[in-house]
Amino acid sequence: MNSLETLNNTIIACRRCPRLVAYREQIAREKKRMYRGEDYWGRPVPGWGDANARLYIVGLAPAAHGGNRTGRVFTGDSSGDFLFGALYRAGFANQPTSVSRDDGLKLRDVYIGAAARCAPPDNKPTPQEFANCFPYLAREFELLKNARVLLGLGAIGFNAILKLLASHNIALPKPIPKFGHNALYHIDTYSVIGTYHPSRQNTNTGKLTVKMFDAVFETAKRALADGR
């Protein structure tokens, strides 16, 4: 897996987790009523974005009727609308919406991955399912040679980043960094940022507002400008 393209093809073909294979394929067969006329992706969802990105975003997993339908992470659901709106306002994307793989969206200096690549029941992969998927995240990180600012969406994304760094023999500070919204840590040559996940549960309740999310990407831009 010496390129992102090769890695992504390997991810798409993965069948390591029987529970997730069964669920993602069931969703793709049954579909949601409003998407009944569409062909669902129904496979693991690879990362995507700018291969030369300095900002690497790590999410949780594809949504059952979002990434699992469209084949692109954070595409076709409300979380994606919130995320790409913020990326557009911050200058990292050429448009504020993401509805399909061929919608013309382009990311600048950003690559997006996930701790798990298959849509999980109740949005909750098991520890073993996360472990099965981790080698893909680790290899993706290695291939993103320019990544220096690492942004974790939610505690799971944030902790996956810490695991990534530790797995690459990068010593974590003591005490171990704790997840917090717009919390910034400098670890070795990397800047690590946490943010509440742009899930409907957070955005509809006001736990995460547009202003709060925009502030996270301003933090990321400052970290990039600082060369960390």
Which one-letter DSSP state was computed for residue 39? P
- Average pLDDT over the chain reads 96
Mean pLDDT of 71-93: 97
- pLDDT tens per residue across span 107-144: 999 999 999 999 999 999 999 999 999 999 999 999 99
Query: What token pair was written down for 212?
Result: 């709060």
C-alpha to C-alpha distance for 30 and 159, rounded to whole angstroms: 33
Res 228 pLDDT > 80: no
For the beta carbon of residue 54, count every other beta carbon within 10 angstroms: 21
Res 157 pLDDT > 90: yes
Kindly list the distances between the CA atom of residue 225 and the CA atoms of 10, 16, 93, 148, 219, in Å, as whole numbers in the listed order.
34, 40, 18, 11, 10
Tokens 């902790």 sit at which residue?
159
Class of domain 4-225: alpha beta
Give the domain ranges of the chain: 4-225
- pLDDT tens per residue across span 26-37: 999 999 999 999
Res 168 pLDDT > 60: yes
Name the residue among 52, 87, 53, 57 with its Cα closest to residue 192: 57
- pLDDT tens per residue across span 43-54: 999 999 999 999
Q: Provide the pLDDT for residue 79.
A: 95
- pLDDT tens per residue across span 178-224: 999 999 999 999 999 999 999 999 999 999 999 999 999 999 999 99
Residue 90 CB-half CA count within 13 A: 26
Q: Residues with Cβ < 8 Å from 78, sequence gap 6 or more? A: 200, 203
Res 1 pLDDT > 70: no
C-alpha to C-alpha distance for 184 and 214, rounded to whole angstroms: 15
Q: Provide the pLDDT for residue 214.
A: 98
C-alpha to C-alpha distance for 62 and 69, rounded to whole angstroms: 9
Q: Provide the pLDDT for residue 2.
A: 74
Q: Provide the pLDDT for residue 227.
A: 72
Query: What token pair was written down for 11?
Result: 């991810």
Residues 40 and 68: beta-carbon distance below 8 Å? yes
